Amino acid sequence: MLSSGPILAWLNGIYDDAQPASESSAALSKHAIKHQDRKRRLPSPPSEDHIQYSPLSQMDSPGISKRPRVAPITNTSDPQLRLSPKRGREGDDDDSDQGEEGGYTPRASDSGAGIRSRRARSRKSASPSRVSISTSSSPSRRLDSLSLNTDGIVTRQLGIGDKRHPVVLKQMLLKVLKWSKWKGILGSSMHEVFGDDLLEHGLDEDDAYSEEPDDYGSTLSPNDVGEIVDYARQCFEKNHSEIVWNFEVHHRLLEKVFRVGERPHVVDVISCHSATITKEYLPTAAGSKLVDFCIYVNPGADIESGGDYADQVNELRRSLPMLCMNHTSYLGLKAEPISISLETKRSGDDEDNATLQIGTWQTAQWNYLKYLLVRVGGEAHAQTALDELGILPAIITQGHQWSFAATTREGSKTILWAKFNFGDTTSLAGVYTIATVVKYLRHWTETVYWEWFKRNILDITRKASI
C-alpha cells in the first residue's frame, strides 16, 4: 500500500499554487480528503516515485462507461467478420460447443453483450415453448419433439422380423443380414486369391464366396483390406478425431469400392461435410444438419441410356431453389442427384446425434423429391412415384463399427429405421463385409434409384418439352 505522506504533500503544493493564501486550513484538509476519495477510483494507484496527474473530469464523468460493451457480430456484410458456427457436424444449429478436437468453439452469442443480455437469454431458455426445439436440447429430445409435427421424423428400431417393415426394407435388410454373418462377402473371382486358406480369417469356404446371380461379394485385394485395418487401428489407438477417421479410413475404403474401372463413373461418392440443407426442404421446426459422405449419380456418365440426361438436369435445375438438383445447395452436387448418405462419428461420440443428422437430412431429401415430382406430374404422380421408390438407405459409422439405416414414408411423416450393425474395420472379414454392402448400395443406386429418377422425373420433362 502506498504511503499517504507524498500524496498529501503533492496535493498541498497544487492547492497552494491554485488558491489564495487566505483560504483556511480546514478547507485545505477537506479538499485533500475529497481528492483522496477520487484517487481510490483510479484503475491503478500512482507510484511514490512518480505521480502523473489525470484530470478529474475524465475520472468522474458519468458519460464514460467503465466497461465497454461489444455487440455480437451476426449481421454484417463482411463474411470475414461473422462468427461462423463450427462445421461440427451439425450445421446451422450445433449440438455442442466442442470443436473437432474437443476444444471450445466461440459463438456469436458468447460475445460480451453484458449482464442484461445474459439475463435475457436465461429468461428465453426457461420458456416452455422453446425447450422442445431449442438447439441446446439433447438430440434425443429434439428427435422426440420432431416426431410430433405433421411432417416430422419418427424413429424406430431396425431389427430382424419387425412386422412394421415395408417390403422393400425387409428385402434389403435380409441381404445385409446375410453379409453381416460373413456369407457371400468375397466375389466368386476371389477363389484364385484365397483358395481354401480362409480359416485363419474366420471365414468358411462354403459360405464366404458369393455366386451368381447376386455376386455382390467384394473383390478388393487382401493388401488393400489390410491397409484399411491398419489405419483404423491407428485411429482408434491414437484417439484420432472424426476428420482423421474420415480421411484415413472411411474415404479410403469408399474410394476403393466406387472408383473401379474407367472414368467417369455413373455412380460415385463424395465427401460433403460442408453441404447444408436448402431451407425450402427442411421439415418443420428442424435446424439444418450435415452429413459426411453422399453417394450420387453422374448423369453425364450415363452414355448407355442414350438420353442426354446431363442437359435435362441442367435445364430442370434452372427453376429449382438455389439452382440445385438436390436438397442441398452445395455446388459440388448441383447437378448430381444424391441417392444414399453416410454419417460418421468417431468411437465414443453421441449415437443419438448421428441419428438426428441422418433423419433430418433424409427427410429434407424426401421433401425435395416430392416437390420435384409434383412440379413434373402433379400430386397423384408424386404419391405413386414415392410409393414405388419406397426407401432411402443410409449408413452410420461410429469408429470401427458400420451400421445400416434407412428412411421410409408414412403419409407426410418420415420413418427413420436405425440401426443394424453389419461390419467393422477391426478385421479382414469385417472390411470385406463393409465393402460388400457398399458395393450392393452402389449397384442399387444405378439400377434402382437412377432408373426410377429417369423414369419418373427426367423422361417426363423431356416429353413435355418436345
pLDDT digit string, tens, across residues 4-38: 566 666 666 665 554 444 444 444 444 444 445 54
Query: Residue 313 pLDDT more than 80?
Result: yes
Identify whether 168 is part of a domain: yes
What is the model's pLDDT at position 63? 45
Query: Residue 390 pLDDT more than 80?
Result: yes
59-82: average pLDDT: 40
What is the model's pLDDT at position 47? 46
Residues 169 and 315 in one domain: yes
In sequence order, the 6+-apart residues with CB closer than 8 A to the CB of 10 are 51
Query: Residue 64 pLDDT more than 50?
Result: no
264: cell is 467417369
Higher pLDDT, 268 or 60: 268
Higher pLDDT, 110 or 229: 229
What is the model's pLDDT at position 213? 72
Please tell me the distance from the alpha carbon of residue 39 to that of residue 437, in angstroms, as a whole number.
77
Residues 45 and 169 in one domain: no
Q: Output the CA torsion 298→302→305→311 (10° steps).
A: 60
Q: Is the peptide bond before 213 cis (omega within 30 degrees of 0)?
A: yes
What is the model's pLDDT at position 14? 60
What is the model's pLDDT at position 1? 52
312-328: average pLDDT: 95
Mean predicted lDDT score pLDDT of the chain: 79
Q: Output the CA torsion 130→406→313→455 (10° steps).
A: -130
What is the model's pLDDT at position 12? 63
Identify whether 125 is part of a domain: no
Mean pLDDT check: name the lowest of 163-167, 281-285, 330-334, 376-380.
281-285
Query: Residue 82 pLDDT more than 70?
Result: no
317-325: average pLDDT: 95
Query: Residue 322 pLDDT more than 90?
Result: yes
175-203: average pLDDT: 91
What is the model's pLDDT at position 348? 74
Mean pLDDT check: name the lowest of 100-109, 241-250, 265-274.
100-109
Higher pLDDT, 432 or 348: 432
Boundary residue ending a domain (16, 33, 60): 60
Identify whether 318 is part of a domain: yes
Overall number of domains in the chain? 2
Please tell me the distance from the alpha carbon of residue 361 to that of residue 356, in angstroms, as a whole number.
8
> In this structure, are strands 401-410 and 413-424 parallel, antiparallel, or unpaired?
antiparallel
Mean pLDDT check: name the lowest of 127-131, 175-179, 365-369, 384-388.
127-131
What is the model's pLDDT at position 143? 76
Query: Residue 231 pLDDT more than 90?
Result: yes
Residues 233 and 362 in one domain: yes
Boundary residue ending a domain (60, 78, 104): 60
Residues 309 and 438 in one domain: yes
Q: What is the DSSP letter of 457?
A: I
Higher pLDDT, 125 or 394: 394
Identify whether 449 is part of a domain: yes
What is the model's pLDDT at position 401? 97
Identify whether 452 is part of a domain: yes
Query: Residue 81 pLDDT more than 70?
Result: no
Q: In whole angstroms, how far apart are CA 198 and each of 193, 208, 225, 398, 439?
A: 10, 8, 15, 27, 21
Rg (CA), the chain: 33
Higher pLDDT, 58 or 242: 242
**pLDDT band at residue 450, thresholds of 50, 70 and 90?**
very high
237-247: average pLDDT: 96
DSSP characters over 236-286: HHTT--HHHHIIIIIHHHHHHHHS-SSSSPSEEEEE-TTPPBPGGGPPTTP
134-162: average pLDDT: 83
Query: Residue 429's domain spans which residues?
Result: 153-465
Identify whether 253 is part of a domain: yes
What is the model's pLDDT at position 15? 52
**pLDDT band at residue 201, thresholds of 50, 70 and 90?**
confident
What is the model's pLDDT at position 110? 43
Please tell me the distance from the alpha carbon of residue 406 to that of residue 415, in angstroms, as a whole number.
8
Residues 455 and 340 in one domain: yes
Query: Residue 260 pLDDT more than 80?
Result: yes
What is the model's pLDDT at position 149? 80
**pLDDT band at residue 78, thresholds of 50, 70 and 90?**
very low
Residues 233 and 352 in one domain: yes
What is the model's pLDDT at position 435? 98
Query: Residue 249 pLDDT more than 90?
Result: yes
Contact 142, 356 (CB under 8 A): yes
Query: Residue 93 pLDDT more than 70?
Result: no
Please tell me the distance from the alpha carbon of residue 435 to that of residue 445, in angstroms, as a whole number.
15
Contact 289, 274 (CB under 8 A): no
End-to-end CA distance of the chain: 93
**pLDDT band at residue 66, thresholds of 50, 70 and 90?**
very low
Boundary residue ending a domain (60, 87, 107): 60
What is the model's pLDDT at position 206? 84
Residue 47, helix vs strand vs coil? coil
Give the residue carrying C-alpha cell 423414369.
455
**Partners of residue 293 on adjacent β-strands:** 271, 342
Identify whether 240 is part of a domain: yes
DSSP characters over 389-455: H--EEEEEEETTEEEEEEEEEETTEEEEEEEEEEEESSSHHHHHHHHHHHHHHHHHIIIIIHHHHII
Query: Residue 167 pLDDT more than 90?
Result: yes
Identify whether 76 is part of a domain: no
